[in-house]
Each structure stands twice: as C-alpha cells, then as structure tokens.
Amino acid sequence: MLLYRGGNLRPLFESAVLLNRVERRENFFFSDYTTYHLGGRAKAAYFPSNLVEAKTVYDYLKKSGENFFILANGSNLLASDSGYDGAVLCTKKLKGVVRVDADTLFVLSGTSAGSLLRYCECNGLGGLEYLAGIPATIGGIACMNGGAGGRYISSNIISVRLYNGKDFVLSNKNCNFTYKHSTMRDINALICGVFLSVFPDSPQNIKAQVGRYLSKREFHPKGYSCGCVFKNPSGMSAGAVIESCRLSGYGSERAFVSPKHCNFIINNGATAGEVKALIDSVKRKVFNCLGIVLEEEVILLGDF
C-alpha cells in the first residue's frame, strides 16, 4: 500500500467529492440561458445548489487557471456566436431568503426578483416593489446596480457577502455604486448574497405597488432582448436619443430597434453577430447625428 506523507489529503478529497456532486453540463449553450436566446457554447457549466458547492466550484475553476464567467439569469448578456473559451458558474440554483431582523433580509444571490417580492408580500415587508418585472436575480441586479422608476437596488443594499477564495463583506459604501455599476463588476468575486433593508407594510399595499410597476411594463417591447442596450447619457434617455435620430425600427426583420422603446434591440431570429453589428451601427449613427457617444449597458461576452 502506498502512503502519502506530504500532508493532510482530507480537504482535497472532500472538495473532490463535493465537486462531483455539483450539476455539470458539458453541452452548455448561452442561447439556452440568456434572455436574448443567443450565443454559442461554453466549455462546461456548473450549477451549484448551495453556497458550499458554489465556493468549491469557484476554488476549482480558479485553481485550474481556466477562464470562467459567473452567469445568473443572463438578462443583460450578449454572448458571441462562437461561444466562450472557458467555463460558466451559474448561480440560478442559489436561492433563499432569510429574515435577519425586523427590517433586514439576507437574500441568496440566485434568488429571482419575482420570488423575493412574493416573500415580501407574504411577510408584509415593503421597499423593494420597484424590482417587479425585472427578469433577473438579486446577485445580477446588485452587480449592475439595477432598478426602475428612478430607484436602484443600492438604496436598499446594506452590504454584500462575497467569495474570492475567502469570504468577505463589502458595505454599501465600499460597493461604490454608481449608475449601472458597482465594484462587484470589476473584481470577479462570487456574490453569495445581499443584505437588504425593508420595512413593515401591509401585503395589500405591497401587492398594489408591485401591480403598478408591472403595469408600466405592459408597454415594453415583447420578444427576445436584454432590456435596455445602452446606458442613459447624462440627463437624457438613450431611447429618446435613438428615436430622435430616426432609428425607430432600424435594422432588419431579424434584428431591429424596437419602435415601442428605441433602447431595446429585438432578436427575431438573428445571430449574436447581427445584433452586435446593429448595436455598433446605432452608436455610429447617433454619434454622427448628435455627437453623443452611447455606452453599452449590455455585457458582451466572447469574441465579436
């Protein structure tokens, strides 16, 4: 029998066993996991179902030296047709909400905005209704500082719990939230969960407010998209800017600027390359027309 004398193998063995338990898909196409329904293949994808598994996958990918991308609901992502030369750590199964005290929740990063709001309504906790209808996870919304109706999640975030080989916490201040940006976008750490402030409110009131936010979305374009493609230039709406350059409906039948909301580019059977070409063309035309440089809100992944 061979005896290894170099050190304690138990942690290595345990993490290998744990990694084996994590759902792994070899045949992962971004087109199946993004709201744009576009994008090619990744080398592999992992779907951890709890934080211990997620950290094990993170450690494994980090040590392997392989590129990896943390994917949540893919609602702000345009992945290349040629896919991604790396692995995917998908957070969608990291779901759960814990009431910490009367006005604080801890929300696991893969929890959807919709299920968080159902929890809030059942438990009479208000303050997050503006998230209604955003087709995203709380981790994704925190990373992007998402929101609606002039409110952003940064106004509810107390702190964010992260992992990059070690557990650490960023206070709201240290997240450096700005418009559609946070420190989390730059550090490739896993957002494990978010502490959010809420306040007691009646379920009826919460339901009514959620309904009001949802009804505003009835006028949003239908079809495959990533929501708003561009950030709003300072003091202006990107959609109105694009419309004023007469680009409503611009593009082809396969990929076009939505006449309902010009900041949406709809995929109607296009490739990711066609959508990217249209994004570039809209940027050029807006610059030539008004001298305004539009900046993408959508995240581009892979080679274009």
Ligand X SMILES: Cc1cc2nc3c(=O)[nH]c(=O)nc-3n(C[C@H](O)[C@H](O)[C@H](O)COP(=O)(O)OP(=O)(O)OC[C@H]3O[C@@H](n4cnc5c(N)ncnc54)[C@H](O)[C@@H]3O)c2cc1C
Site residues for ligand X per CB under 6 A: 35, 70-77, 91, 109, 134-137, 139-141, 143-144, 146-148, 184, 190-191, 225-227, 299
- The minimum distance between CB 253 and ligand X, in angstroms, equals 20
Query: Coil, strand or helix: which one is 45?
Result: strand
- The minimum distance between CB 6 and ligand X, in angstroms, equals 34
**Residue number, nearest CB to ligand X:** 140
Q: In terms of DSSP bridges, do strands 299-301 and 77-79 run parallel, antiparallel, or are they unpaired?
A: parallel
- The minimum distance between CB 70 and ligand X, in angstroms, equals 4
CA–CA gap between residue 253 and residue 143 (Å, rounded): 33
Name 41's bridge partners. Answer: 29
Radius of gyration over every alpha carbon of the chain, rounded to an integer in angstroms:
21
- The minimum distance between CB 265 and ligand X, in angstroms, equals 11
HSE, CB side, 13 Å, CA atoms: give it for residue 165. Answer: 6
Backbone angles phi, psi at 7, to 5 degrees: 160, -175
| Nearest to ligand X of 112, 198 (CB atom) | 112
| Nearest to ligand X of 120, 142 (CB atom) | 142
Fill in the DSSP letter of residue 24: E
| Nearest to ligand X of 78, 198 (CB atom) | 78
- The minimum distance between CB 5 and ligand X, in angstroms, equals 39
CA–CA gap between residue 131 and residue 228 (Å, rounded): 15
CA–CA gap between residue 282 and residue 276 (Å, rounded): 10
Give the H or E element holding residue 142: helix 138-144
HSE, CB side, 13 Å, CA atoms: give it for residue 123. Answer: 21
Structure tokens at 227: 């929501």
| Nearest to ligand X of 226, 247 (CB atom) | 226
- The minimum distance between CB 73 and ligand X, in angstroms, equals 3
| Nearest to ligand X of 96, 124 (CB atom) | 96
CB 169 within 8 A of CB 161: yes
| Nearest to ligand X of 288, 295 (CB atom) | 295
Backbone angles phi, psi at 233, to 5 degrees: -65, 155
Within 10 A of 63 (CB to CB), how many other CB atoms are there?
Answer: 10
What are the strands, taking DSSP E only, across 199-285?
199-200, 255-257, 265-267
| Nearest to ligand X of 68, 250 (CB atom) | 68
- The minimum distance between CB 113 and ligand X, in angstroms, equals 8
- The minimum distance between CB 227 and ligand X, in angstroms, equals 2
Fill in the DSSP letter of residue 77: E
| Nearest to ligand X of 75, 154 (CB atom) | 75
